[in-house]
Chain A
Amino acid sequence: MSDAPNRRRVLECMGWAGTGLVWTMAGGVANSVTLDAAQAATKPKTKPFTFLQVSDSHIGFTKDPNPDARATFREAVAKIQAMPVKPDFIIHTGDITQLSKDQEFDDADQILKDAGLTVFHVPGEHDMLDEGNGKAYLDRYGKGSMGDGWYAFDHNGVHFIGLINVKQLKAGGMGHFGDDQLAWLKKDLAGRSASTPIVVFTHVPMWTVYEQWGWGTDDAAQALAMLARFGSVTVLNGHIHQVLTKTEGHVAFHTARSTAFPQPAPGSAPSPGPMKVPAGALRDTLGVRTVTYAPGTGTLAVVDAKLA
């Protein structure tokens, strides 16, 4: 270790060296405030909390390797019920159902209800298969949402944005947000402080995981450009039924496990279809995600627990 003062040490000293400034980290952005202002701010605007992500429950799926996706979803909910610290809410990142049937939506809601927590949804492409191209989803979950069902909310100082990238898909393309949604996002972010921690949740990955399988979002770059000025951005998605993580600047991307069946690693199989695993190994491939927000840390802590 060198004796030369590092940045942190210099900043600490500056806080005490009569400059009248206190350096803080908020949402991953370094701020300086006057001592008076720092003393005035007796309470932080944000407080720690935990929420959960479940994904790709595919209620109605009955094929190899999971003859009963309802049963594994129930197990996931039982795991949630057994958690020692009650999370604030659940985010379901889509593919609630296999075929958008009313019975499948009903069963998913019924199972998830046992968790006893508020649930925020975004749809997957499997939830858009009704005659009305997503009307069934929107009727059920779209109350208070915009356009095809996108929305935002705030929780303990963190801004959550639910985006939809499974509608308006174009031949040869991948996931897609569309101009209307991007225009809405721009408005939603305008005027927000760069130190506001942002959580974006959507179904298909916002980074191109594997283009040949459509594992990406065509116009995600436009959304990410709008998010670039924020100090802490966490992107949560499903769709590819495996845990993958990537960090780019201040943006952390996390794709989640399914509660129904695994999919192969990008490009490792002839198709992205369900990965066949022995019955005894299935639950090693399924899971529930816990996300913890602690003010001042800059990033959200993501822990993926297996169903096994």
Chain B
Amino acid sequence: MAFLNRIRCVPSAAVAALAAVTLGAAAPAPSVIKIDNFTFNAAETAVPVGTTVTWVNNDDIPHTVVAVDKSFKSKVLDTDEKFSFTFTKAGTFDYFCSIHPHMTGKVIVK
């Protein structure tokens, strides 16, 4: 656990390299999606199974992150608040902001 705790502080690219070399499929690199200007900054995010995706609200207006199939749903995220979800199954997950539904995105888990 100490080792795992330590690698959380390492930039994600380094974690990805480490994970690939030393941990195999055990811990895919975390992925971050920023919310800026009423937009999810990655319209599509492709990640391996097991990845934890974190959304961060950089707007000065609250947003939410809600899966269309309801498999995940954040509470309301005010400025700088975050929501994380670990994708344990492969598939395509469409999500949107339930407050501003024109804001949409997609996580593709392989």
Query: Which of A14-22, A136-144, A247-255, A268-276 contacts the other chain?
Result: A268-276
Contact of B104 among A99, A131, A171, A211 (CB under 8 A): A171
* Number of chain B residues whose Cβ lies closer than 8 Å to a Cβ of chain A: 22
Q: Mark B12-37, 1 if CB is under 8 A from A, else 0.
A: 00000000000000000000000001
Expressed in whole angstroms, the Cα–Cα distance for A256 and B59 within the complex equals: 23
Binds A, one of B1-9, B44-52, B60-68, B82-90: B60-68
Number of interface residues of A (CB under 8 A): 25
For the complex formed, measure the closest distance between the CB of A142 and the CB atoms of chain B, giving whole angstroms: 20
Contacts of B37 in A (CB 8 A): 270-271, 273
Mostly, the A contact residues are loop
**Bound Cα distance A211, B101 (Å):** 11
- Sorted nearest first, the 4 A-B pairs with minimum C-beta distance are A271-B37, A171-B96, A214-B102, A271-B38
- The 17 sampled A-B contact pairs (Cβ below 8 Å) are A63-B60, A64-B60, A125-B99, A126-B62, A126-B99, A129-B62, A129-B64, A131-B75, A171-B94, A172-B101, A172-B104, A173-B101, A173-B102, A174-B101, A213-B38, A271-B38, A273-B37
Besides A173-B102, A211-B102, 13 new A-B residue pairs in contact (Cβ under 8 A), listed by A number: A63-B60, A63-B79, A99-B76, A125-B99, A125-B100, A126-B62, A129-B64, A169-B98, A172-B96, A173-B101, A213-B38, A273-B37, A273-B61
